[in-house]
Chains A and B, each alone.
Chain A
Amino acid sequence: MNREMIKAMLWKEWRETRWKWLAFAVAFHGPLFLAGFVITIEESVKFDLKAMSNPITGQVLEFALIAQSVFLITAGLFLLAFFAVGSVGAELDNRSIFFLFERPVRRGHVLLIKYLLGAVQTMTCVGLSILSSLTFVYAVIVAGSTHVTLEGSWGAFTNVVANATRGTVWTMVIGLMVYSATFLFSVLFEKWWIAVIAGAVSLLGMFYYFGSNLFDMIINAATRNGDGEIDLSLYGRLDPVPILVMLVVSTGLYFTAQYVFARKEMK
């Protein structure tokens, strides 16, 4: 497979998924849209925005970070499963993948291109949504509040963004793992809805396994100190062991998908 072929395949994948990816990116900013909607119609919330000051800005940004993180590890992962599930299964179902098999390209390479582009798209959305949400929230506060100044609140913003950047590493790795698992289901099941159910069941299984610890970890135990103030120390911890484990799991899932795809009987 030469460079032209790779470019052509990437272009084909991008063209087919770009609108879906855009919708996916928009959906990942759900809390932001909800907040924007509430601010627009609710006088009381608009008033609070107006009343904010520099010290309060930091607290609001911390809250926004927590809210977006919670959204990512709950609804966000289901969204991700929906996005990933159409990667292969849909093309198998409508048989458009056979067009590619008639080209001088190996099956493995077709899957690799699909996986890589999907993974990049997924991780971009998952990772950047935290930062873009925080930036947007900050912009709205500075523009809408009477007493918040860039000079007075910039420190709080950069502090939260620094923590959020480390948080994006976690969410991207978790996102990659979930994406890889759903990608495997997409290869296994030709019917997209079977893959969706399988993805959803797996996610529920993951939540069941982690139980309330997952939420405690994000919201309670690690994000609140005794005074009820938000503590972002969890975001400061980049533990390499679980990150590596998740990357290994993701890689394993990808190779399993390749193994299944290579042996899959397709007519």
Chain B
Amino acid sequence: MNRLKRKPFLFGAGAAVLLLVAAAWMFASPSAAEAPRLERLLPAETVGFVQVNNLRAQALKIMESDAWRELSKENQAASSLFMMGANHTGALDASYALALVGMDAAEGDRQPQPQFVLVAEFGSWDSRRNFDNRVLRSLRESSKKGVTIAEQEYEDATIHIVTSDGREDVAFVRKDQTLYLSNSAGALKKVLDVRAKKAKSLETSENFAPARARASVHDGMFGYLDGAALTRLIESGPSSEGHAGVAAFRQLFHGTGASSVQSVAFTSAFDGGRVVERFVVNTSGKQGVLGTIATNAPTSQALLALVPEDALQAFDASIAGAPQTFDELLTLFGQVAAQAGKKDPQELFERVSSKTGLDLRNDLIGQLGAEICVAQLPNGDDRSGVIILNVRDEQAFARTLEKFAEHNKRAVSVRDYKGVVVRLIAGEKGRGMEYAFVGGNLVASGDAGIVERVIDTAQGGPSLAGNAAFREAVAGAGGNPQFVYFNTNADYVARLGHVLKSEEHEFKTSGQSVSLKPSYAFGVSRPEGLFVESRTPLGTFPRLLAAMTSKFGQESKKEESKKEEPKKETTSE
């Protein structure tokens, strides 16, 4: 013992080892927010939910992305302060799920209400406390009249029911590091039953498990919609005479083929510094309008060969089934309108026809070819749009446009550009529409010079289809897509600035031309349903962060100002 007393370093080393072990334990054990799978907390009958995994981790990935680096170059202080602001709202240290778990029964004159539940699983007790303090304050202050909070014991939890004017506004339960918030106490009971293992969770649902497995993404965002549960929910709606609207909606739901949807899964996650978002619609069969869209022929992307190489963005889609889809929709809306006692859509078309002089079905829709392409081109310091439309009969479509000009008493001028006839239908306020037919396709633009650029491209100029960046981007698209979308992202940072801009954060919203990887999206019909994928710099994450920062930032400020109030009083005394 005496020897030990003489060796204080031994005690120091022991303390250091203990500290290291404690630190290692802290780092090794993941927080609740890091490994969420919030479906385990939701009831099996959940209709759909969207989950955001560990918001802080997503925010860190945003900061490390190329897009944020570019944004930070021009907005150094603002980008830092935005992220720090988001951090100090207390909302980042959690995973969230917003779920539709069913419908409340109708009571008296009150219509049945959808039951939503927000589940927030926090990384620590402090984070949860901060969050629910802010949510509660927001609730109290959102209503002008008195708000009361009643408590109800259920299972091993206390349900707090917030009512204003005798009406239940919101109910919430705090349990460990999790907060459950809902517009219905009944919905919370369903969730608490799952927690108490009295009811099955969504995790065990037969439909859900394969959708989750197919998603193969455990990061970012995940969304799921159970088609069968949605159909059941809609079917369970009132069908008595007084609910014609509900019956009409039910008919619309079946007519569009939505009832054949087994599930919809959505994922959004960072991959290689960018965000990949995927929608997968699984259908049991291709019925209704959805079926017609799904069986539409893929786009040949031939029109992209007419788009000049420097196009800033372009959208190309197959419209081969447009006349059929139009007819089906028209019939469906006619039936729905008749059931709901609303005006027949045919009347609307007649009004359009009398105004434009065109028969929408035969002069326009019936003349459409297999493909449409819409592009945006640089035009000096500005941008201009152009539409390239594949038509069945060039002469017939030309007559349609002439008919329109004649009916509306618009002057039409004609000129020749490199052997192609370019027509201009004068507009009401000076500007008009310039158009030409190039290889059986209508090329139209509201800005002078753009049609000529498409003609140049058609006559051998460099096109978007041959552009290296475009080709590299489309290389990732599998199968034969029904639509493709391409964006050079030249103005992405400026657009991002617009999204993030607020009273507190001043971001530049123009004059920043940056070099980012282009965005690309495509949609393809597969035997099991529809698949849509997009690759963009940041996806929907910045909007999500901006929304949360703006809401919780205000609550955080109120908290701080309340803390400062007593100090001010002391000073004045």
Contacts and interface: CB of A to CB of B under 8 A. Distances in A.
Interface of A: 40-41, 43-44, 47-48, 50-56, 146-147, 152
Contacts of B31: 43
A44 B93 contact: yes
Interface string B17-58: 000000100100001000000000000000000000000100
Contacts of B87: 44, 47-48, 51
A40 B23 contact: yes
A43 B87 CA distance: 10
Interface of B: 23, 26, 31, 56, 59-60, 63-64, 69, 72, 76-77, 79-81, 83-84, 87-88, 92-93, 123
A157 B92 CA distance: 31
Contacts of A55: 76-77, 80
Nearest to B31: A43
Contacts of B56: 43, 47
Contacts of B88: 44
Contacts of A47: 56, 59-60, 83-84, 87, 92
Nearest to B77: A55
A42 to B, nearest CB: 10
A50 B65 CA distance: 13
B80 A56 contact: yes
A43 B23 contact: no
B26 A52 contact: no
A52 B60 CA distance: 12
Nearest to B81: A56
Given A47-B87, A51-B84, A147-B63, 5 more contacts: A43-B56, A44-B93, A50-B60, A146-B64, A147-B79
Contact of A51 (B26, B80, B123): B80
Of B76, B80, B92, B93, the most chain A CB neighbours within 10 A belong to B80
Contact of B63 (A40, A41, A43, A146): A146
Contacts of A52: 80
Nearest to A41: B26
A53 B59 contact: no
Nearest to B65: A146
Of B64, B76, B77, the most chain A CB neighbours within 10 A belong to B76
A54 B78 CA distance: 11
Report the 9 A-B pairs with minimum CB-CB distance, sorted nearest first. Answer: A51-B83, A53-B80, A53-B76, A55-B77, A147-B72, A56-B80, A47-B87, A146-B63, A51-B80
A6 B387 CA distance: 94
B532 to A, nearest CB: 31
Contacts of B80: 51-53, 55-56, 147
Contact of A53 (B64, B72, B92, B123): B72
B63 A50 contact: yes
A146 B93 contact: no
Contact of A147 (B60, B69, B93): B69
Nearest to B88: A44
Given A43-B93, A147-B72, A51 B63 contact: yes
A52 B82 CA distance: 10
Contacts of B84: 47-48, 51
17 contacts: A43-B93, A44-B93, A47-B56, A47-B84, A47-B87, A47-B92, A48-B84, A48-B87, A50-B60, A51-B84, A51-B87, A54-B76, A56-B80, A146-B63, A146-B64, A147-B79, A152-B76
Of A51, A54, A146, A152, the most chain B CB neighbours within 10 A belong to A51
Of A40, A50, A53, A54, the most chain B CB neighbours within 10 A belong to A53
A56 B63 contact: no
Of B69, B87, B88, the most chain A CB neighbours within 10 A belong to B87
A51 B75 CA distance: 12
Nearest to A44: B87
A123 B90 CA distance: 43
Contacts of B60: 47, 50
Of A43, A52, A54, A56, the most chain B CB neighbours within 10 A belong to A43
A41 B19 CA distance: 12
